[in-house]
Chains A and B, each alone.
Chain A
Amino acid sequence: MRASVIVFPGSNCDRDVAVALQRACGRRPNMVWHADVRLPESDLVVIPGGFSYGDYLRTGAVAARAPIMREVAAAAKKGVRILGICNGFQVLCETQLLPGVLLRNRDLKFICRTVELDVVNSDSDFTRNWKKGQKLRIPIAHGDGSYFADSGTLKSLNDNGRVALRYCDNPNGSLEDIAGIFSENRRILGLMPHPERAADPELGGSVDGAAVFKSLVQALA
């Protein structure tokens, strides 16, 4: 699997996700700087967590207009899998590769803890190693994770199996407890929880997140 990780000024989960990818497929991902205008040939593009551009204007808004994102959008059009984690999810919403937007947490607090998640749809290249209805434990770490979309968009997400994960105990005010969604063709996944932080047994916590990387390797190897 040829993976590329996009690195913005302020990304801070890029190296963690690179480790998780390398462990899963044995190959180092390309680290692609935001100002690059060419994306290496990739099966998977990851937009990692962090605080790109200091969250100025709106979370993900400035990163979404970086030169490399035009290439990412072009890759998405060709069906390349795209995974946006936390700030990456916010960036994908701002580029309109995914619908809706992530707003300030309901209680205005930055939340950093492991949460319980419900697998809503395991029928994708990202989620095939989970089971529908399975409960996962994966950390979140965000100040702006409250998912918002208009009612028509929410209905279409529900009707088309595009909700990937919901929070069991909504921490941030997300509409309908949404923690992760797919694009229409399910080749793009955006999620607020950090699977790369729950992928290493040596850290002693949950390893429920490792399934995302395993699934992608199975689908794309």
Chain B
Amino acid sequence: MKARIDVMLRDGVLDPQGKAIHQALKHLGFDTVQEVRQGKVIEIELAESSHEQASARLKEMAEKLLANLVIENYRVTLQD
């Protein structure tokens, strides 16, 4: 089973990389951009057949390692 975990900085946490990207987009003339936030995507393949079990394991992985909940939120999406 394939899963995708999106990790994003929480609102209110300064994202200097997002700000730098925003600035670069402005330089390219994309002047309607109002905010840019940069995150991470982690793809995981796992040997689970039950979606329920896989979701539970992925939540554990996200909270133990993949995201730091002090600054980040995460979203798990199961694919096929």
Q: Which residues of A contact B (CB under 8 A)?
A: 57-58, 61, 65, 94, 99-101, 103-108, 146, 148-150, 173
B71's partner among A103, A105, A107 (CB-CB below 8 A) is: A103
Interface set, chain B 1-19, CB cutoff 8 A to A: 13-14, 16-17
24 contacts between A and B (CB under 8 A): A57-B65, A57-B66, A61-B65, A65-B64, A100-B70, A101-B68, A101-B70, A101-B71, A103-B13, A103-B14, A103-B71, A104-B17, A106-B14, A106-B16, A107-B16, A108-B16, A146-B14, A148-B13, A148-B14, A148-B70, A148-B71, A150-B70, A173-B14, A173-B16
B66 CB contacts on chain A under 8 angstroms? 57
Q: Which residues of B contact A (CB under 8 A)?
A: 13-14, 16-17, 20, 64-66, 68, 70-71
Report which residue of A103, A146, A149, A173 has the largest number of chain B beta carbons within 10 angstroms of its beta carbon: A103
How far in angstroms is the closest Cβ of chain A from B74? 12
B14 CB contacts on chain A under 8 angstroms? 103, 106, 146, 148, 173
B70 CB contacts on chain A under 8 angstroms? 99-101, 148-150
Nearest chain-A residue to B66 (Cβ)?
A57
